[in-house]
């Protein structure tokens, strides 16, 4: 897969760290930014906002997000993202592409599996936002014709670690 | 096209006739409903337990209605416990005032909105614009509709009545996008993405609706495909959700069933691209808004709640499946219904929100074929409700005129003749034989081609009918019984 990202943003997820994503980016010379809600992320967003405000350029500098997740559903091919410090969601929603890292143990068979105690949708431990992401952003609002990537990432990949 | 915001439900028949004569609209509608229907059918076929799910969905929403007052209070407690606020709104005016007050207090100038039928219902955009705020719809379909100053024609596909050529024209006219014509659908999407990105990144307030609200956690759920609802509920510092009181489910865990039903029924997806579960405000170091307001909207719902025959319509989860299945909607389109809710469910609830006298034709905008009930994920008995509303229309006109409603002359004549013959078996036999002989004389290859007949024209001019059977039912009955008797004797 070749997505030609011009920069990569990543969350503070343990899997992301374990795989050494930040160091690897540095080695490859790809601009990287951690989504920790800190100064760096603010600057990155201000850049996005400026590019958006300037409007005319269709290919504003676009980024790929690499994040972890709190669970995944086999039946629907979904991942569950929970907001927490260092795990924002505005960051990856604004990117053009999204890569989600997960381990095989995180996968449950269907939606019900996430609702059990300790699962991503445990009602006693809900963060501000849980997002079940199922594939790329899409719309069929014009003539019912499916098009990918309207507001959120138009590319989505889940990488399952053995 | 630009439609006014005044409901036009009272002129359904004229609206529908106009829609039928509009070739562009017929093209758009024909293509869309076919796709909706086939996508839903294959997604439903994947789950052998779909019937069971429908039964559960029905039971969950029914329980929620049974315990609604208590659940609403429980919901409020949980929202507050998580740092949010709940505002109760009796009607559209109160709901709009709540939002305007919050926006003014917080010095808001720019607002982004994700798709919500409740906010359509109360004309929130209109109220906010009148109060001086900049409001931008961010769902692609709603964005197009907003630019064109139109109103949605389908509860989940608001711009389904427009062709891509029309959308190009709108973008060129309203956004000065000279490249829009010829951009193709992906190109049009890119224009919308680029234009709206600016709004997302500068708005101080995001407004959403909710598909569900869980009483025991204070969470709301927003189901979407584009990512705009996620952005509206994350980037701006204030999030306001306008939630109809019928959106409650008793338990957070009930959402598993409801979500399995909703995506499949609405767009034929197992789950939509993004399912957002929102609970309270952002915690320390967590990304998200500082303020979370829920406007609980009544706006006529408690009146429906009190109606013994129609309260089941509050179970509706606005999936739109009944629209796509409905032979009347498929041809008349959403605008004919004249208000924010269209199709079979629109025909049931619009008269209740606007008053039956302002939508007396809607209960008749159905062939009562039952396709809507067949597909409804929460088993709303729409045909029964339409019949109930029809009898209310008749009662109301009886009351108004002080006499039983007058049937059209031809209708009384035909029912009179039917009753007369029905009481005279010999004459009945003769008449049916005569009718069969006449019809068979006109038929070829077992079909009677469409023909123009005085008085019966509305039925016969556009339909091929099958030729009548060789024998009438009574003849066949007599023959078979004769044979059975003979066998018994033997
Ligand atoms: S009435 Fe049933 S099928 Fe129609 S929109 Fe509501 S839930 Fe869907």
Contact B217, B78 (CB under 8 A): yes
Lowest average pLDDT, out of A12-21, B209-218, B286-295, B298-307, goes to A12-21
Tell me what pLDDT residue A4 has: 66
Closest ligand 1 atom to the C-alpha of B382? Answer: 1
Burial class (CB in 10 A: 0-12, 13-18, 19+), B1: middle
CB pair distance less than 8 Å for B235 and A140 = no
Tell me what pLDDT residue B3 has: 43
Out of B140, B217, B283, name the one closest to residue A128 (CB).
B283
Contacts with A150 from chain B: Cβ below 8 Å: 140, 189, 192-193, 226-228
CB pair distance less than 8 Å for B273 and A137 = yes
Tell me what pLDDT residue A3 has: 65
Instruction: Tell me how far apart the 2 most distant CA atoms of chain A are, in Å.
Output: 49
Tell me what pLDDT residue B452 has: 75
| Res. B450 pLDDT band, cuts 50 70 90 | confident
Contacts with A37 from chain B: Cβ below 8 Å: 285, 287
DSSP-H helix ranges across B182-226: 184-202
Out of B157, B219, B274, name the one closest to residue A152 (CB).
B274
Whether the per-residue pLDDT at A57 is higher than 60: the answer is no
Structural domains of chain A ordered from first start = 8-161 (3.40.50)
Q: Which residue of A has its CA nearest to B43?
A: A76
Q: Which residue of A has its CA nearest to B167?
A: A142
Tell me what pLDDT residue A59 has: 47
pTM, full prediction: 0.89
3-state secondary structure B432-454: HHHHHHHHHHHCECCEECCCCCC
Sign of CA dihedral B444, B447, B450, B456: positive
d(CA B104, CA B232): 19
Probe ligand 1: pick from B40, B57, B265, max atoms within 8 Å of CB?
Answer: B265
Tell me what pLDDT residue A58 has: 42
In three-state secondary structure terms, B217 is coil
Does residue B322 line the site of ligand 1, with CB under 6 A? yes
Contact B330, B29 (CB under 8 A): yes
Does residue B319 line the site of ligand 1, with CB under 6 A? yes
Task: Specify the length of chain B in residues.
Answer: 490
pLDDT, tens digit, 9 for 90 and up, residues B12-67 = 988 988 898 888 888 888 877 788 899 999 999 999 999 999 999 999 999 999 99
Contacts with A131 from chain B: Cβ below 8 Å: 230, 274-277
Choose among B181, B90, B180, B174: nearest CA to B136. Answer: B174
What distance lies between CA B22 and its chain's CA centroid?
22
Whether the per-residue pLDDT at A56 is higher than 80: the answer is no
Choose among A146, B345, B363: nearest CA to B334. Answer: B345
Both tokens assigned to B167? 């959308």
d(CA B140, CA A139): 8
Distances B244 to A78, B56, B152 between C-alpha atoms, Å: 28, 21, 19
Q: Does A45 touch chain B (CB under 8 A)?
A: yes
Segment A41-52 shows an average pLDDT of 82
Does residue B102 line the site of ligand 1, with CB under 6 A? no
Closest ligand 1 atom to the C-alpha of B325? Answer: 3
Tell me what pLDDT residue B470 has: 86
Does residue B371 line the site of ligand 1, with CB under 6 A? no
Whether the per-residue pLDDT at A160 is higher than 70: the answer is yes
Distances B92 to B5, B244, B292, B352 between C-alpha atoms, Å: 14, 11, 20, 15
Specify the residue for token string 């002080």.
B402
CB pair distance less than 8 Å for A126 and B219 = yes
Contact A44, A10 (CB under 8 A): no
| Res. A1 pLDDT band, cuts 50 70 90 | low
What distance lies between CA B236 and its chain's CA centroid?
30
Highest mean pLDDT among A57-61, A120-124, B130-134, B453-457 belongs to B130-134
Distance from CA of B270 to the nearest CA of A (A): 6
| Res. B460 pLDDT band, cuts 50 70 90 | confident
Distance from CA of A105 to the nearest CA of B (A): 21
Structure-model confidence comparison of residues B455 and B137, the more confident one: B137
Does residue B378 line the site of ligand 1, with CB under 6 A? yes
**CA-only gyration radius of chain B, Å:** 27
Whether the per-residue pLDDT at A60 is higher than 60: the answer is no
Contact A9, A66 (CB under 8 A): yes
CB pair distance less than 8 Å for A130 and B276 = yes
d(CA B322, CA B329): 9
Does residue B348 line the site of ligand 1, with CB under 6 A? no
Task: Report which secondary-structure segment, H or E, holds B466.
Answer: strand B465-466
Average pLDDT of chain B, as a whole number: 92
Q: What are B315's strand-pairing partners?
A: none
Segment B235-248 shows an average pLDDT of 97
d(CA A101, CA B202): 31
Does residue B349 line the site of ligand 1, with CB under 6 A? no
Tell me what pLDDT residue B217 has: 97
Q: Does A71 touch chain B (CB under 8 A)?
A: no
* Cα B379 to ligand 1 centre (Å): 8
Specify the residue for token string 């108004």.
B400
Burial class (CB in 10 A: 0-12, 13-18, 19+), B314: buried
Tell me what pLDDT residue A62 has: 67
Residue-by-residue DSSP string for B395-443:
HHHHHHHTSPPPPPHHHHHHHHHHHHHHT-HHHHHHHHHHHHHHHHHH-
d(CA B217, CA B251): 8
Contacts 24+ apart (CB under 8 A), B442-448: B443/B467
Structural domains of chain B ordered from first start = 1-46+313-406 (no CATH), 51-299 (3.40.50.10420), 419-489 (no CATH)
Tell me what pLDDT residue B114 has: 96
Structure-model confidence comparison of residues B372 and B473, the more confident one: B372
Contact residues for B76 (Cβ-Cβ < 8 A; gap 6+): B86, B218, B296
CB pair distance less than 8 Å for A134 and B272 = yes
| Burial A117-132, CB ≥16 within 10 A → b, else e | eebbbbbeebbbbbbb
Tell me what pLDDT residue A48 has: 80
3-state secondary structure chain A: CCCCCCEEEECCCHHHHHCCHHHHHHHHCCCEEECCCCHHHHHHHHHHHHHHHHCCCCCCCCEEEEECCCEEECCCCEEEEECECCECCHHHHCCCEEEEEEEHHHEECCHHHHCCCCCCCCHHHCCCEEEEECCCCEECCCCCCCEECCCCCCEEEEEEEC
Residue nearest to atom 2 of ligand 1 (CA): B376
Tell me what pLDDT residue B2 has: 39
Choose among B328, B321, B326, B351: nearest CA to B338. Answer: B351
CB pair distance less than 8 Å for B226 and A89 = no
Structure-model confidence comparison of residues B29 and B107, the more confident one: B107
Tell me what pLDDT residue A5 has: 72
Contacts with B185 from chain A: Cβ below 8 Å: 142-143, 145, 147
In chain B, the percentage of residues whose pLDDT exceeds 90 is 68
d(CA B80, CA B294): 10
Distance from CA of A94 to the nearest CA of B (A): 8
Segment B272-282 shows an average pLDDT of 97
Does residue B213 line the site of ligand 1, with CB under 6 A? no
Tell me what pLDDT residue B28 has: 80
Q: What are A99's strand-pairing partners?
A: A66, A157
CB pair distance less than 8 Å for B198 and A52 = yes
Whether the per-residue pLDDT at A144 is higher than 70: the answer is yes
Lowest average pLDDT, out of A28-37, A72-81, B63-72, B228-237, goes to A28-37
Distance from CA of A4 to the nearest CA of B (A): 18
Tell me what pLDDT residue B445 has: 83
* Cα B318 to ligand 1 centre (Å): 5
Probe ligand 1: pick from B345, B374, B377, max atoms within 8 Å of CB?
Answer: B345
In chain B, the percentage of residues whose pLDDT exceeds 70 is 98
Tell me what pLDDT residue B489 has: 77
Task: Report which secondary-structure segment, H or E, holds B134.
Answer: strand B134-137
Does residue B261 line the site of ligand 1, with CB under 6 A? no
* Cα A133 to ligand 1 centre (Å): 25
Tell me what pLDDT residue A50 has: 81
pLDDT, tens digit, 9 for 90 and up, residues B399-446 = 877 776 677 788 888 899 999 999 999 999 999 989 888 888 888 888
Q: Count of CB atoms within 10 A of residue B424's CB?
A: 11
Out of A52, A112, A115, name the one closest to residue B197 (CB).
A52
Specify the residue for token string 């509608």.
B29
Q: 84-143 in A: which are within 8 Å (CB) of B?
A: 84-91, 93-94, 111-112, 115, 121, 123, 126-143
């Amino acid at each position: 897969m070749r997505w030609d990202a011009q920069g990569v943003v990543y969350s503070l997820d343990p899997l992301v760290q374990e795989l050494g994503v930040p160091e690897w980016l540095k080695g490859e010379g790809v601009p990287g930014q951690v989504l920790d809600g800190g100064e760096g992320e603010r600057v990155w967003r201000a850049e996005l906002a400026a590019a958006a405000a300037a409007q005319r350029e269709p290919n504003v500098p676009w980024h790929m997000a690499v994040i972890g997740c709190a669970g995944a559903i086999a039946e629907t091919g979904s991942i569950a993202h929970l907001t927490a410090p260092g795990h924002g969601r505005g960051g990856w929603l604004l990117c053009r592409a999204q890569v989600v890292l997960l381990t095989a143990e995180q996968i449950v068979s269907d939606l019900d599996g996430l609702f059990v105690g300790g699962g991503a949708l445990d009602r006693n431990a809900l963060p501000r936002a849980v997002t079940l992401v199922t594939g790329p952003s899409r719309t069929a609002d014009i003539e019912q014709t499916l098009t990918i990537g309207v507001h959120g990432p138009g590319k989505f990949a889940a990488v399952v670690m053995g | 096209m630009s439609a006014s915001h005044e409901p036009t439900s009272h002129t359904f028949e004229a609206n529908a006739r106009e829609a039928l004569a509009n070739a562009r609209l017929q093209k758009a509608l024909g293509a869309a409903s076919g796709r909706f229907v086939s996508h839903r059918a294959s997604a439903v076929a994947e789950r052998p337990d779909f019937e069971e799910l429908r039964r559960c969905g029905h039971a969950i929403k029914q329980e929620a209605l049974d315990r609604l007052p208590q659940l609403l209070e429980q919901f409020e407690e949980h929202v507050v416990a998580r740092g949010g606020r709940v505002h109760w709104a009796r009607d559209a005016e109160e709901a709009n005032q709540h939002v305007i007050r919050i926006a003014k207090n917080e010095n808001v100038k720019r607002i982004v909105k994700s798709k919500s039928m409740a906010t359509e219902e109360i004309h929130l955009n209109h109220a906010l614009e009148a109060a001086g705020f900049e409001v931008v719809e961010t769902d692609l379909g709603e964005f197009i509709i907003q630019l064109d100053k139109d109103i949605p024609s389908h509860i989940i596909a608001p711009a389904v009545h427009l062709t891509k050529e029309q959308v190009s024209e709108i973008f060129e006219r309203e956004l000065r996008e000279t490249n829009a014509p010829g951009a193709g659908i992906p190109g049009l999407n890119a224009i919308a993405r680029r234009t709206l990105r600016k709004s997302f990144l500068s708005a101080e307030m995001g407004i959403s609706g909710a598909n569900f609200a869980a009483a025991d956690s204070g969470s709301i759920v927003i189901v979407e495909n584009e990512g705009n609802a996620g952005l509206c509920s994350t980037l701006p510092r204030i999030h306001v959700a306008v939630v109809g009181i019928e959106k409650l489910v008793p338990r957070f865990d009930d959402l598993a069933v409801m979500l399995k039903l909703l995506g499949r029924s609405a767009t034929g997806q197992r789950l939509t691209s993004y399912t957002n579960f929102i609970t309270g405000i952002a915690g320390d170091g967590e990304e998200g808004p500082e303020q979370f307001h829920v406007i609980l909207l009544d706006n006529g719902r408690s009146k429906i709640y009190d109606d013994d025959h129609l309260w089941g319509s509050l179970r509706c989860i606005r999936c739109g499946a009944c629209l796509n299945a409905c032979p009347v909607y498929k041809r008349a389109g959403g605008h004919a219904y004249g208000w924010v809710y269209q199709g079979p469910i629109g025909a049931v609830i619009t008269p209740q929100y606007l008053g039956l006298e302002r939508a007396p034709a809607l209960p008749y905008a159905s062939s009562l074929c039952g396709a809507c009930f067949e597909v409804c994920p929460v088993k709303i008995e729409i045909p029964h409700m339409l019949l109930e509303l029809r009898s209310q229309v008749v009662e109301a006109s009886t009351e108004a005129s002080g006499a039983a409603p007058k049937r059209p002359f031809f209708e009384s004549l035909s029912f009179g003749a039917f009753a007369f013959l029905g009481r005279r078996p010999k004459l009945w036999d003769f008449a049916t034989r005569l009718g069969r002989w006449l019809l068979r004389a006109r038929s070829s290859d077992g079909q009677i081609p469409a023909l123009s007949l005085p008085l019966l024209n509305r039925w016969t001019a556009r339909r091929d009918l099958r030729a009548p059977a060789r024998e009438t039912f009574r003849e066949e009955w007599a023959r078979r019984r004769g044979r059975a008797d003979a066998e018994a004797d033997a």
